[in-house]
Structure 1
Amino acid sequence: MLLLLLLLAVAIGGSHGQFPRVCMTKEALDSEICCPLWNGSECGVEAMRGVCLNWWTRTLDDNQYYDDRLNWPNSYFRSSCECLGNYGGFDCGKCKFGYYGENCDRQKTLVRHEIRELSTIERRRFFSYLTLAKYTISKDYVILVTGDRHHRSTYKFIDATIYDVFSWIHYYSMKPILMNSTFTSNTSYAHQGPAFPGWHRRLLLFLEREIQELIGDEDFALPYYDWSHENNTCSICNEEFLGSNDLQGNIGGSSYFSSWGAICSGYFYTDAYCRSAERGFHVENLLRKPGRDPKTRIPTYQDVEATLKWKMFDTEPFDKTSKSSFRNALEGYVNPVDGKTTDRNMHNMFHGYIGGTMSQVPISANDPMFILHHAYIDKLFEVWIRKNKATPDKYPNNQHLGHQRLECAMPFFPCVMNKHMLQNSAVYGYTFTYMDQYCRLYNQVAGGS
Structure 2
Amino acid sequence: MIALCVFFILCCNLVQGQFPRACVTDQALKSKTCCPPWRDGSPCGSTSGRGKCRDWVVNVELSFIRERQYDDDRLNWPRFYFDKTCECFGNYSGHNCGDCMPGYFGDKCDRKKTVIRKEIRELSFLERKRFFSYLLLAKSTKSKDFVILTTGDRHHKDTYKFVDVTIYNLFSWIHYISIKPILRNGTFDSTTNYAHGGPAFPGWHRLGLFFLERQIQLMTGDEDFALPYYDWRGEENCSICTDDYLGESHGQGFLSKYSHFATWKSICSGYNYDDSYCPGADDENNMQILYRKPGVHPTVRRFPSFKDVEDTLKLTNFDSPPYDRLARRSFRNALEGFLRPDGETLGRSMHNLVHIYFGGTMSEVPISSNDPMFILHHCYIDKIVEVWLTRHNATRDVYPVNDQPGQGPRECSTPYFPCYLNKDLLHRSTKFGYTYSKYQQM
TM category, shorter: over 0.9
1:366 matched to 2:346? The reply is no
Aligned position for 1:383: 387
Q: Deviations over 1:40-96 (max 9, x none)?
A: 111111111112121135576599333110101112211111111111111110001
CA contact (8 A) 1:395 1:405 kept: yes
SS at match of 2:430: helix
Q: One-letter code of the match for 2:150? A: V
Q: Is the 8 A contact 2:337 2:351 kept in 1?
A: yes
Give, in whole Å, the separation in 2 of the partners of 1:392 and 1:346: 23
Map 1:167-186 onto structure 2 (within 5 A).
167-186=172-191
- Contact 1:112/1:223, CA 8 A, preserved across alignment: yes
Corresponding position: 1:291 with 2:295? yes
SS of the residue corresponding to residue 152 of structure 2 reads coil
Where does 1:181-200 land on structure 2 (aligned, <5 Å)?
181-200=186-205
RMSD (CA atoms):
1.7
Conserved? CA contact 2:118–2:439, under 8 Å? no
Counterparts of 2:409 and 2:285, CA distance in 1: 35
1:437 shift after superposition: 4.7
Residue 398 of structure 1: how far off its partner (Å): 0.5
Structure 2: distance between partners of 1:213 and 1:282 = 30
- 2:431 maps to what in 1? 427
Counterpart CA distance in 1 for 2:50 and 2:395 is 27
Opposite residue 257 of structure 1, the aligned amino acid is: F
Residue of structure 2 equivalent to 1:48: 49
Distance change in 2, residues 1:332/1:63 (3 Å): closer
Question: Does the Cα contact within 8 Å between 1:86 and 1:99 map onto a contact in 2?
Answer: yes
1:235 is aligned, of 239, 242, 261, to 239
- After alignment, is 25-34 or 345-354 more displaced? 25-34
SS of corresponding position for 1:277: coil
Q: CA deviation at 1:348?
A: 0.5
The equivalent residue for 1:3 is none
Aligned amino acid, residue 272 of structure 2: F
- Is the counterpart of residue 27 in structure 1 residue 17 in structure 2? no
Describe how 1:148-163 pairs up with structure 2 within 5 A: 148-163=153-168
Change (3 A) 1:23 1:312: same
Q: Which runs of 5+ in 1 are unaligned?
A: 1-6, 439-449
The question of whether the paired residues in 1 share the 8 Å contact of 2:16 and 2:418 is answered with: yes
- Which of 310, 314, 317 is residue 315 of structure 2 equivalent to? 310
Distance 1:76 1:88, change over 3 A: same
Q: Which amino acid aligns with 2:392?
A: N
- C-alpha contact (below 8 Å) 1:36/1:42 kept by paired residues: yes
Q: Distance in 2 between matches of 1:240 and 1:14?
A: 33
What pairs with 1:64-83 in structure 2 (closer than 5 Å)? Answer: 64-83=69-88
* 3-state DSSP of counterpart to 1:37: coil
Give, as a single letter, the amino acid of the residue that structure 2 aligns with 1:360.
E
CA gap of 1:240–1:379, structure 2 versus 1, over 3 A, is same
Query: Corresponding residue for 2:332?
Result: 327
Question: Following the alignment from structure 2 to structure 1, what is the Cα–Cα distance between the partners of residues 163 and 182?
Answer: 22
**Which residue number in structure 1 is paired with residue 5 of structure 2?**
none
Query: Identity across aligned pairs (percent)?
Result: 56
Residues 380-409 of structure 1: CA deviation (Å, up to 9, x unaligned): 000001111221222100011111001011
C-alpha distance in structure 1 between counterparts of 2:229 and 2:13, whole Å: 21
1:215 aligns with 2:220: yes
Q: Tell me, what secondary structure is at the counterpart of 2:138?
A: helix
Separation in 1 of the partners of 2:103 and 2:305? 32
State the 1:176 CA deviation. Answer: 0.2
Q: Hey, what does 1:343 align to over in structure 2? A: 347
- CA distance in 2 between counterparts of 1:270 and 1:50 reads 38
Where structure 2 has 5 or more consecutive residues not aligned to the other structure, the ranges are 1-8
SS in 2 for 1:229: coil
1 CA distance for matches of 2:21 and 2:105?
Answer: 23
Query: In structure 2, what is the equivalent of residue 131 of structure 1?
Result: 136
Distance (whole Å) between structure 1 residues aligned to residue 167 and residue 419 of structure 2: 21
Contact 1:315–1:323, Cα closer than 8 Å, also in 2: yes
Please state if 1:14 is matched with 2:19: no
CA distance in 2, matches of 1:434, 1:284: 37
**How far apart are 1:26 and its partner, in Å?**
2.0
CA contact (8 A) 1:146 1:272 kept: yes
Contact 1:266-1:275 at 8 Å conserved across structures: no
Query: Number of matched residues?
Result: 428
Question: Could you tell me whether the CA contact under 8 Å between 1:262 and 1:282 is conserved in 2?
Answer: no
Q: Letter of the aligned partner of 2:22 in structure 1?
A: V
Relative to 1, partners in 2 of residues 1:156 and 1:333: Cα closer, same or farther, differing over 3 Å? same
- Equivalent in 331, 339, 357 of residue 353 of structure 1: 357
Are the aligned partners of 1:298 and 1:350 in contact in 2 as well (CA < 8 Å)? yes
Say whether 1:256 aligns with 2:260.
yes
Q: Residue by residue, what CA displacement relative to the aligned partner does 1:231-256 show, whole Å, maximum 9, x if unpaired?
A: x2000001110110113011110111
For residue 151 of structure 1, report the CA deviation from its aligned partner: 1.1
CA distance in 2, matches of 1:282, 1:94: 35
Secondary structure of the 1:210 match is: helix
CA-CA distance at 1:178 after TM superposition: 0.5
TM-score normalised over the length of structure 1: 0.92
The answer (yes or no) to whether the contact 2:13–2:419 under 8 Å persists in 1 is no
